Amino acid sequence: MADVTVLKAVGRLDQDASAAFQSRLVGLVDVPGGAKVALDFGLVDYVSSVGLRTLMVAAKKSKAGGGKIAVAALTPVVREIFEISRFNFVIPVFADLRASLLSMSADAAVAFDAGG
């Protein structure tokens, strides 16, 4: 959406899925000049400690490169995991994708509203 990349995750972010997800996410954030990435977790039903580590690695790389990462639309189970682990203090969490886009770019929110 405009100047923000949206990465939609589905299913479980655990030992089996974390390596592929980390590779994709780090590839998006580890770019010269930084990148803005909104993670849509609306269809993620579980995040393990390995999954949280994946997000931590990406958040550190993003911050070091001047980028931003936000997570949106956590399911109740995943929201609880984020709150218990206090991960909501590591990566900004938003109620929905539009709010996460707006936090990074007004142009991205306008593109989202326009359906694009």
How much is the mean pLDDT over the chain? 92
Euclidean distance between CA atoms 80 and 16, whole angstroms: 21
Complete domains list, the chain, with CATH:
5-102 (3.30.750.24)
Whether residue 11 is predicted with pLDDT greater than 90 in this model: the reply is yes
Quote the CA–CA distance of 92 and 90 in Å, as a whole number: 7
pTM over 0.75: yes
Q: So what's the pLDDT on residue 2?
A: 66
Residue 115: pLDDT above 90?
no
Residue 45 CB partners (closer than 8 Å, separation 6+)? 11, 12, 75, 77, 78
